[in-house]
Amino acid sequence: MVSQDLLEILRCPACVREKDGLLEYYKDSWLICQDCGRKYPIVDDIPVMLIDEGDKWAGTAKETLPVPPPAK
């Protein structure tokens, strides 16, 4: 589980310069940007905050995201 302190400071790396980049913590497995819709997986309790990784899942509806996210 990702610590609440970390969740409070994490922001979408693609949006943070121009928008808030706030993230929704979803099913203990994903962080979803409220601005752009990129979805960042949480693997072994570590958020994978790479823009390329968020891009992979941007077109996937949050209800259909795999839980847990697939390992690389």
pLDDT at site 71: 79
pTM of the predicted protein model: 0.93
The answer on pLDDT for 72 being more than 80 is no
Q: What is the set of domains in the chain, with CATH numbers?
A: 4-60 (2.20.25)
What average pLDDT does the structure give for the chain? 95
Token pair in block for residue 59: 């077109």
What number is the average pLDDT over the span 11-34?
96
The answer on pLDDT for 49 being more than 90 is yes
Question: What is the DSSP code string of 13-45?
Answer: TTTTTTS---EEEETTTEEEETTT--EEEEETT
